[in-house]
Structure 1
């Protein structure tokens, strides 16, 4: 009997030889999976769908399998839950909610990755990156399409020297404010964008291990390490003159507006913070050019070492047959990531994706920072918590961060609010 691992190895035998090349390995012409049909579900549509389908086409060429892609959009979590309950789960799904992945894994719906797939992940990803796909010590997935959520974007005409440290960042903001400019545009209306501020600071000041404990609620939100992070953030959020419309204006600013406040036709600020996806909003606005008039720098360092908050789409398997195992092996490899990376619009935590495969200098630097963070990369903390706490508009983490932006002086009250919400959410 031919095992799943053996078929996967046969079908993808040339993949292991390609990591030093900028191009994915050529298809070996294997028909080991001829006649096999798989389904893959993800949120992607339009250009993202086309780019992912190119990845799947490469897999089909190598193996002889047929892959059917389903674009489920924002309804993916609900649809997948329904299909799992009805015994109609796809072979593979790209899920951006680690909490949902943990729910599926603990219910026995997901299959732990085969040894050959896990071996690729161990070889090509850092331990920190590998941990993103793990539940209770077992590896169920791999982060295929990552985000760099540790970037500050700025109008190149307004910032002469990019700050490296948190103190230098605050000094730049004060310098601009003292000269009569409004330096910083903050997206306060979507609570998730404010959680990213806290997460970047906490990951640096408390470190990855404490970050993991906070995500699991193994330490309370009243812990002194949380106090320190909020006190650092208050050095920025406590300066009303930094924001267009002051703190009240910042709380009311949605994400697209936070970008056009800096990169629109009538700029109101010089800098904004958010992930690599800011570049798409800049391009959409049409007034600035990414990499030229619009640039970014890494989130300022508070502890003298790099740390990156990430997010994105994690490939998981609901089946463990030969074809599914082969597809998961391919998706874990640098070859698969390189197909999309070359086209643009994808960052990978895979250490063996050649940096020069990315199409422009900005994307190459964003990708390099993700990989260079090594074990100091962590998934977005709010997405690691129960959705009632970390993913609900007007409640929990999102609401507490909005309250903090509105009144940065009362750190203790915000911490207690967070702890009360977390305690209730983790009991459910």
Structure 2
């Protein structure tokens, strides 16, 4: 072979090698860790990954599915060492905890590029830390008042109460008809936290509520005490069933099912478990307005996607977040996860109660709180919910409990 032919072969081999390198450079990869509960949740995530790969055949998706409880334990290590490209997590304080430590990618540009300030308007505040967005919302669920339509009719109540005065008047009518107005699962302290959240949101608003959750407001503040004194009125008026602290959620729901209680404040996630014989009688309405001057906020715990700051394939990660953020994918993911789509442009759910919850959350102007134990540090949340149980057991000790909570706030948040 002549030197000219050797040169031609060498050039061809070099060109092929360069082409191979270029091809390898074009191939992408996306590594995602997914927290899930049950086969149906895993299946819907897998279908989203499959469709993303079909739309982006140059990107290989490698997903690791981890049980939710194990996921919570392992997440801090992933974020601080060898991080995946995308994780799913919770908004609010749980997201801010990692953003504060510079472990999450700033997604503000994604919000601007993808128009998320419009489609995710009601969840933007919960996705924000220090003026920047670090989360892409996926799904959430609504909190509100479940009620028995037939029991309302029996008590002569013509419509759902929209104001606090109407709610109190309806409670009187129910008691006169021999029906407990509201069932409470006080043995599960978190159910009491739902009452605290809504009374605070309706009386003081979400801005105040978030400052309280962040440890910036004293528990001896008169505005906090007003939340509890409003709550105390309900206890004094026998609005709740006797011995409410004896019942967990599973034990309290039968009060509704058996027609002994008319209402329950709870998240829409319980609706799937309603017995078939009373499902048509179950209704759902927004927690009543206490002060019309306070912007209306809601509890709507939000699940989200985040890109770790140490992710290796960030371009692919940003592309995946944009894909999941489309109305159609959001709706499919929500249905498979048993939740509501956080995207306000997604089709409304077919289920009547979820449809109402979706309408409430997607039109909320006063902000969406993440729920008591997601909006504050775990230690303070645990102490706060324990105090709520003590308050329900003996409302006369309110001042003592608030003083105790204030001492705890100062200790945990190092406030004077």
Global fold match (TM > 0.5): yes
Q: Does 1:274 align with 2:261?
A: no
Structure 2 CA distance for partners of 1:343 and 1:166, relative to 1, 3 Å: same
CA RMSD of aligned residues (A): 2.4
Provide the C-alpha distance between the structure 2 equivalents of 1:122 and 1:63, rounded to a whole number of angstroms: 25
**Residue 281 of structure 2, aligned match among 289, 293, 298:** 293
Once the 2 structures are TM-superposed, how far is the Cα of residue 92 of structure 1 from its aligned partner? 1.7
Would the alpha carbon gap of residues 296 and 343 (structure 1) be closer, same or farther in structure 2, given more than 3 Å must change?
A: same
Q: Write the deviation string for residues 303-334 of structure 1: whole angstroms up to 9, x where unpaired.
A: 23642111131211112621111112223332
Of residues 17, 38, 45, the one that matches 2:38 is 45
**1:223: Cα distance to partner?**
1.3
The CA deviation string for residues 322-353 of structure 1, in whole angstroms up to 9 with x for no partner, is: 11111122233323212234567221332222
Could you tell me which runs of 5 or more consecutive residues in structure 2 were left unpaired when the two chains were aligned.
1-24, 154-158
1:49/1:227 CA distance change after superposition, 3 Å: same
**Corresponding residue of 1:326:** 319
Alignment counterpart, residue 381 of structure 1, candidates 346, 349, 372: 372
Structure 1 residue 213: deviation in Å?
Answer: 1.4
- 1:132 CA displacement: 0.9
Q: Any unmatched runs of 5+ in structure 1?
A: 1-31
Secondary structure of the residue aligned to 1:111 is: coil
Tell me how far apart the structure 2 counterparts of residues 44 and 381 of structure 1 sit (CA, whole Å): 22
Q: What TM-score, normalized to structure 2?
A: 0.83
Indicate yes or no: 2:215 matched with 1:217: yes
2:299 aligned residue:
309
The aligned residue for residue 118 of structure 2 is 123
Inter-CA distance 367–199: structure 2 relative to 1 (3 Å threshold): same
Shift of 1:98: 3.5
Q: 1:197 to 1:119 in 2, by over 3 A?
A: farther
CA contact under 8 A between 2:42 and 2:65: conserved in structure 1?
no
Do the aligned residues in 2 keep the contact of 1:38 with 1:323 (CA within 8 Å)?
no
**1:136 paired residue number:** 130
* Residue 267 of structure 1, CA deviation: 4.1
Question: Does 2:86 correspond to 1:96?
Answer: no
* Structure 2 residue 224 is the aligned partner of structure 1 residue 226: yes
Partner secondary structure for residue 409 of structure 1: helix
Matches within 5 A, 1:166-315: 166-240=164-238, 242-244=239-241, 246=242, 249-263=243-257, 266-282=258-274, 285-289=275-279, 292-304=280-292, 306-315=296-305
**Matched positions, count:** 378
Kept in 2, the 8 Å contact 1:404–1:410? The answer is yes
For residue 97 of structure 1, report the CA deviation from its aligned partner.
6.2
Instruction: Show the 5 A alignment for 1:381-420.
Output: 381-390=372-381, 392=382, 396-420=383-407
Q: Which runs of structure 2 are paired with 1:45-84 in the superposition (5 Å)?
A: 45-64=38-57, 65=59, 66-84=61-79
Q: Does 1:371 align with 2:362?
A: yes
Cα distance in 1 for partners of 2:329, 2:62 equals 14
Counterpart for residue 360 of structure 1: 351
1:100–1:298 distance in 2 versus 1, CA, 3 Å: closer
Q: Give SS of 2:140's match.
A: strand
Going from structure 1 to structure 2, the CA distance change for 1:114 and 1:58 (only over 3 Å counts) comes to: farther
Give the direction of change, closer, same or farther, for the CA distance of 1:243–1:326 in structure 2 (3 Å limit).
same
User: TM-score if structure 1 supplies the norm length?
Assistant: 0.81
Deviations 1:333-382 (A, max 9, x none): 32321223456722133222233xx1223222110100111343222233
Residues 69 and 335 of structure 1: is their aligned pair in 2 closer, same or farther, counting only changes over 3 Å? farther
Larger radius of gyration: 2
